[in-house]
């Protein structure tokens, strides 16, 4: 996705849940934990789509953010 906005994440998650409900109408989807990027838009959308779900950030993405931060200061090993 190019423009990662809350509205776009809401639309994608809504479509995913709609398709899931069509495929498995008798199976309740219970998401307890969800891992994603540390982006506010996706975390907020996940919390809205999966009520009661614990949303946590991915450590890989956290490492990438820190790596890019230090690169911006020309930090090298």
What's the confidence (pLDDT) of residue 77?
A: 57
What's the confidence (pLDDT) of residue 59?
A: 85
Is 76 a domain residue?
no
Q: Is the pTM of this model over 0.75?
A: no
What's the confidence (pLDDT) of residue 33?
A: 94
Q: Which residues of the chain have pLDDT under 50?
A: none
What's the confidence (pLDDT) of residue 68?
A: 82
Is 48 a domain residue?
yes
What's the confidence (pLDDT) of residue 6?
A: 94
Q: Which domain holds residue 58?
A: 6-71
* Ramachandran bin of 52, using left for φ above 0, alpha for ψ from -120 to 50, beta for the remaining angles: left
The tally of domains found in the chain comes to 1
Is 18 a domain residue?
yes
What's the confidence (pLDDT) of residue 8?
A: 95
DSSP of the chain: --S--HHHHHHHHHHHHHHHHHH-TT------EEEE-S-HHHHHHHHHHSTTPEEEE-HHHHHHHHHHHHHTTT---
């Amino acid at each position: 996705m190019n423009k990662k906005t809350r509205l776009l994440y809401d639309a994608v998650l809504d479509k995913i849940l709609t398709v899931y409900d069509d495929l498995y109408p008798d199976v309740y989807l219970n998401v307890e934990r969800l891992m994603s990027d540390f982006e506010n838009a996706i975390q907020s959308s996940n919390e809205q789509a999966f009520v009661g779900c614990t949303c946590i950030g991915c450590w890989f993405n956290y490492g990438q953010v820190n790596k890019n931060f230090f690169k911006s200061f020309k930090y090298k090993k």
